[in-house]
Each structure stands twice: as structure tokens, then as C-alpha cells.
Amino acid sequence: MPSYQSTALIVALAIASSACQRSSTNNNAASKPDAAVTSTTATTEPGEPIKWPMPEAMMQHMRNLEQDVRALESSSEKDHVALAAKIDGHTKRLISSCTMDGKAHDALHDWLMPFLQLNKEYAAATDSDAKSAKFKEIQESLAAFHERFE
């Protein structure tokens, strides 16, 4: 029988697939990068990575997630279990509000799927060293998010 965390991840992935595949009623030119771009790792100039535009409603979920991460970082009480649950909630809201399509959408999935797995591992960490290591990885992943999205 799968664990609660495995079931939650499966549900989140199913929601992500169905929510992001539906047609957006909010499509705009800002969500579609230039047709000349051929991959999510393309560059506009040598060494200058593309920052994919993200709708404001979706970006707000990321800001809220990052605010919770920063709050734990500066807190004397390190409640990693509570943060993992908050991250889970923020990512579910991000997924359910998804209106991106095309290569920008694909780039988001390229970042999001490993992040969901990382949060699953963070929630499952049992000792303080493992929790701290996963927390650091979450911070690094959020920095990578800002290298790819605006």
C-alpha cells in the first residue's frame, strides 16, 4: 500500500497534468516566447539565458512559497515538517492556477517536477542533518527558478 506522501505526490502530478493541459482562457503573447527559440535551455545571446515569463497569478504562489522558506531560514525554530506542508500547498495552488503553454510551460515542468520530488524527500527526512541538507537544496532550486522565470 503506498504511503501518504507517495499518494500525495501522485495526486499532485495528476493535477499538474490535467490542469496544465487544459486550454488557457488567459493566453497572451507574454506567455509565448519567440518562435525562433528551440529549447528550454536556449539563449538569446551567448551565455545569456532566456527568462520565461510567468503569469502574475502563478508567480504570486512562488513568492508566497519563497516567503515561507525565508521565514524558516531566519527563524530560531526550524519546523521543517510545517514548511514541507506549506511548500506542498503552494505548489498545488501553482499547478491549479497554471495558464502557461508552449515552451514556457515545458520549462516550468522541467523545473517543477524535480522540485516536487525534492519537497517529498524534504518532508520524509528524519534527522536534522538530512532536513538541513534538503532545505539547502530547496533554496538552491528556488534560485534556479529565478534564473529561468520572471
Output the pTM of the full model. 0.71
pLDDT per residue as tens digits for the range 110-140: 999 999 999 999 999 999 999 999 999 999 9
Q: Are 116 and 12 in contact (CB under 8 A)?
A: yes
pLDDT for 36 equals: 33
What cell was used for 4?
A: 501518504
pLDDT for 105 equals: 95
88 in helix, strand or coil?
A: helix
pLDDT for 5 equals: 55
What cell was used for 33?
A: 516566447
pLDDT per residue as tens digits for the range 2-38: 455 555 545 454 455 445 544 343 444 344 333 333 3
pLDDT per residue as tens digits for the range 37-47: 333 444 445 55
Distance CA 64, CA 102 (A): 25
